[in-house]
Amino acid sequence: MANFSKLSPQAKKALILATDAPVQVTALVELSAGYDAETDLPLKALDATLQGWSTHSRIVTLKLPSSHLGNLAETRGVTYVELGETLANPSDPPN
């Protein structure tokens, strides 16, 4: 089971909804000091693409399936996962 304490409320919602219909999401990931996004994150196993990385703030931007958010939260060196966009409510009409 995922370490939900590392997931923002929106990331938790995306993970729960992923059982019905996983979607690609943008995740903002905070890494512990000393961790490297390119070598310490299992990008291939998470089916994730590294979108950006700020070494000064230790914030990484990833694109990955919402169903993998739990695995991301369990990854060593990950301290927090936030979604980069708000999930649309399926009942909301399109803009």
- Is the pLDDT score of 78 beyond 90? yes
- Is the pLDDT score of 86 beyond 60? no
pTM: 0.83
> Which residue from 3, 27, 25, 1 is spatially nearest to 76, judged by alpha carbons?
3
Average pLDDT over residues 41-54: 92
Give φ, ψ of 71 to 5 degrees. -65, -40
Q: Is 58 helix (H, G, I), strand (E, B) or coil?
A: coil
pLDDT of residue 95: 39
pLDDT of residue 94: 42
- Cβ partners under 8 Å of residue 18, min gap 6: 65, 66, 67, 69
